[in-house]
Amino acid sequence: MPELPEVETVRRELEPWLTGRTIRTASRVLAPAGPKYANLERAAGQRILGVERRGKFLLLPLSKGDELVLHLGMTGILSPEKPSIHLRVELALSGPAPKTLYFKDARRFGRCLVVRAGDYASLPTLQALGPEPFDPAFTDAVFVASLARARGPIKPLLLSQRVVAGLGNIYVDEALFDVGIHPRSLANGITPDQAARLRRAAIAILERAIEHRGTTISDYRTVNGNVGGYGAELRVYANDGNPCPTCSTTIEKIVLGQRGTHFCPRCQPVPRKRRARR
């Protein structure tokens, strides 16, 4: 958290406000010097050319060939309202009010740094991202082939960002439930038909979540201070102990790849032992 729908929501709210403005000053506040805030001061004096997204990263191309890279981590919030606590970065902007963008991050897993445009050597996760789920090139065939080459359970693979960018704990649980795949299923044991349906389910869920401006479980807020509305649509995530909306079996929670994982034991049965596809 936040995942693709939340970051895309933030991007859409930031874009009309920030595009074309010049960053007058870029200051770290209660944020130590280091790679998470590297070269931040270099943004000063540069005009913001746009607000883009890659996976869960926000990318702001700047006028002198740099790029401001933002990652919200687990608790990051971008807002024109100055927070009373956990303020990490302050960007003073040209133009009419609001004239300041604040980055609040309680748990300090977020990032706000400047790199040369497209140079992500210091950001290996960003550099190694798989295809965007909405990219026309991300076809059923591409996804099927990626799973066939993979090792290990499907859920940690989807969270790795290597086969598709932007999916996180919430939307992986929901997509696997939609297709009836147990999260422990071996990725290269999933049939081509299941893989194709999983790709389509994930895309549909992401689209619906974006329409609802994402999901707020605890910290996530839009730039305008609103909560995401997709929480009411969640069927398994964070619903352990409740009845499955499809079959009324009790939703269970396990830890898989160090992440809480929610599923219906009836709709998503434990996979049979089978020889994985080569």
pLDDT bracket for residue 275 (50, 70, 90): low
CA distances from 67 to 50, 64, 120, 138, 240 (A): 10, 9, 10, 26, 41
- Going from N- to C-terminal start, the domains of the chain cover 4-126, 140-263
pLDDT digits (tens, 9 = 90+) for 104-163: 999 999 999 999 999 999 999 999 999 999 999 999 999 999 999 999 999 999 999 999
pLDDT digits (tens, 9 = 90+) for 9-50: 999 999 999 999 999 999 999 888 889 999 999 999 999 999
pLDDT digits (tens, 9 = 90+) for 213-267: 999 998 999 999 999 999 999 999 999 999 999 999 999 999 999 999 999 999 9
Q: Which architecture characterizes domain 140-263 according to CATH?
A: Orthogonal Bundle (1.10)
Q: Which architecture characterizes domain 4-126 according to CATH?
A: Alpha-Beta Barrel (3.20)
Distance of CA 23 to the CA centre of its chain: 26
**Active-site residue numbers?**
2-3, 56, 259
Kindly report the backbone phi and psi dihedral angles of residue 52, in degrees, each rounded to the nearest multiple of 5, phi listed first.
-120, 170
Residue 272 has pLDDT above 80, yes or no: no
131 preceded by a cis bond (ω within 30 of 0): no
pTM, to two decimals: 0.95
Beta-strand ranges (E) seen in 55-142 are 57-61, 66-71, 76-79, 87-93, 100-105, 111-116
